[in-house]
Amino acid sequence: MSKIIQVEIGRFDYAVAGEFKFFAPGPDGRVTRPSVLVRLTDADGRTGWGQAVPVPSWTYETVETVLTTLRHYLAPLLLGRDPADFDGLHAAMNTAIRPAFSTGQPLCKAALDLACHDLAGQQRGVPAWKLFEVGGHVPGPAFPPAADAPPMRARDVPAHPLSAITLSWTVASPKPEVIEKQLTEGRARGYRNFNIKVGYPQPAEYDLELARRVRAFAPDGFLWADANTGYTPEQALAIAPKLREVGVNVLESPLPPTAIRGYQALKKQGSLPILMDEGIVGPEVAAEFIALGLMDGMALKPARNAGLRPSVRIVNQLRAAGLMILGSGLTDPDFSLAAATQLYAWAGLTAPCALNGPQFLADSLVGNALTPVHDVLTVPTSPGLGLTPDDRAARCLERVAAL
């Protein structure tokens, strides 16, 4: 296949609609969702788009670190490369930016992984999910599996994945009046399932009342509580049974990922299914956490897991261990959102996915291509990630590597 001959990168910030505590106003008072776009060009003139979605309040990466790492370290590695050589891509990136326990700037690496999937799909005339392979090796830190770790079993790529995924509506505010507004808007837009943000700085009493209010509002919906690592082990053990009593279905990221004994205690308590998110940034880490018995499942985010190739491996690890998989995101716009939808459709996820980009973002580079109908988002079927951006995307780009 035609090799990559040019890499372009640029920052594009999306306007934010409504209030979301993780996006603070900038110096100009505006609230935006920053992103970094990547465009690859092959020798035949085809292009592939990728996107990194850093948010410092969620991750240790910023727009500035993504841009400088792409410019000085990773973009040159793609020149002359076959975009479908995903294992080779990750091996090269993990040599240039070494993993430790973490993948090492996974959000930055995700942008290039997505762009290669988009370009390879364009070259072959197939959607990106058809390029997923089970059991592919992504080099990284060599963590030997525990003796009692479940064996890996290959999962066949389906001939026809889901054509659409169901979305969950995010309810997140320390202000009761904002909660009521968010619930009303979610119902008006046709959403039936809700995820709530709990934990610091909200007190336990507020979290329980929030869960009780949302359960009463949607008695038949899936109710997903995400603490974003905001509890201590003692607080999580105390509140988990109470959250179950008021109707919560799962508890995501109650503790920092370093609180290994705390996660083991919560898993043993068994009050709610415990999902991990923060801390799992690659298949090697996922294998360790599975072997240690820290969780009942994972809230998956390809934007945080260095892209689609490592995320496919994580899906297969979780399936082999019989663990739950929920689809989540980082308020993903455009290309990051399209990648997540293809992964979740391929994985056959029928539980509502917490992809709230369509809820909180007031702009898009791809028009209505990723606009849900009520709470259902149709998966793009065109080659690659299935999107063609408007002229604003190209205008923000700068060439950083070329043959």
Instruction: Look at residues 259, 266, 220, 219 and name the one whose alpha carbon lies nearest to residue 239.
Output: 266
> Mean pLDDT, to the nearest integer, of 92-102?
90
> Which residues 6+ apart lie within 8 Å of 101 measured at CB?
141, 285
For 177, what's the count of Cα atoms within 13 Å in the CB-facing half-sphere? 0
Phi, psi of 6 (to 5 degrees): -155, 140
Does residue 307 register a pLDDT over 50?
yes
For residues 398 and 351, membership in a common domain is answered with: no
Tell me the pLDDT tens digit for each residue of 7-48: 999 999 999 987 776 777 777 778 899 999 999 999 999 999
In a domain, 106, yes or no: yes
Tell me the pLDDT tens digit for each residue of 309-357: 999 999 999 999 999 999 999 999 999 999 999 999 999 999 999 999 9
For residues 354 and 394, membership in a common domain is answered with: no
What integer pLDDT is reported at residue 370 of this predicted model?
96
**What percent of the chain shows pLDDT beyond 90?**
83
For residues 184 and 64, membership in a common domain is answered with: no
Does residue 156 register a pLDDT over 60?
no
In a domain, 107, yes or no: yes
For 233, what's the count of Cα atoms within 13 Å in the CB-facing half-sphere? 14
For residues 59 and 170, membership in a common domain is answered with: no
Q: What is the mean pLDDT of the chain?
A: 91
pTM for this entry: 0.92
Q: Return the ∠ at Cα 256 (arms to 253 and 261), rounded to 5°.
A: 100
**C-alpha dihedral, 66 to 70 to 73 to 78, nearest 10°:** 140
Q: How far apart are CA 199 and CA 165, in angstroms?
A: 28
For residues 205 and 341, membership in a common domain is answered with: yes
For residues 16 and 93, membership in a common domain is answered with: yes
In a domain, 158, yes or no: no
For residues 123 and 186, membership in a common domain is answered with: no
Does residue 157 register a pLDDT over 80?
no
**CATH, residue 359:** 3.20.20.120
> Mean pLDDT, to the nearest integer, of 69-83?
97
For residues 238 and 354, membership in a common domain is answered with: yes
For residues 333 and 368, membership in a common domain is answered with: yes
In a domain, 67, yes or no: yes
Q: 209: which 2 tokens? A: 């009342």
> Which residues 6+ apart lie within 8 Å of 137 measured at CB?
87
What integer pLDDT is reported at residue 160 of this predicted model?
57
Q: 359: which 2 tokens? A: 């809820």
> Mean pLDDT, to the nearest integer, of 377-403?
97
What integer pLDDT is reported at residue 378 of this predicted model?
96
Does residue 185 register a pLDDT over 80?
yes
What integer pLDDT is reported at residue 149 of this predicted model?
35
Tell me the pLDDT tens digit for each residue of 213-269: 999 999 999 999 999 999 999 999 999 999 999 999 999 999 999 999 999 999 999
Q: How far apart are CA 403 and CA 98, in angstroms?
A: 25
The boundaries of the domain holding residue 30 are 4-127+390-402
What integer pLDDT is reported at residue 134 of this predicted model?
39
What integer pLDDT is reported at residue 27 of this predicted model?
74
Does residue 304 register a pLDDT over 80?
yes
For residues 398 and 294, membership in a common domain is answered with: no
Tell me the pLDDT tens digit for each residue of 101-155: 778 899 999 999 999 999 999 999 999 999 996 333 333 332 333 333 333 333 4
Phi, psi of 321 (to 5 degrees): -90, 0
> Mean pLDDT, to the nearest integer, of 143-172?
61
- Amino acid making up residue 172: A
Phi, psi of 224 (to 5 degrees): -120, 120
In a domain, 384, yes or no: no
**What percent of the chain shows pLDDT beyond 70?**
93
Does residue 84 register a pLDDT over 70?
yes
**CATH, residue 26:** 3.30.390.10
For residues 168 and 43, membership in a common domain is answered with: no
In a domain, 273, yes or no: yes
- 161 vs 209, more confident: 209
In a domain, 85, yes or no: yes
For residues 16 and 118, membership in a common domain is answered with: yes
Number of domains in the chain: 2
In a domain, 151, yes or no: no
Contact assessment for residue 208 and residue 233, using Cβ atoms and an 8 Å cutoff: no
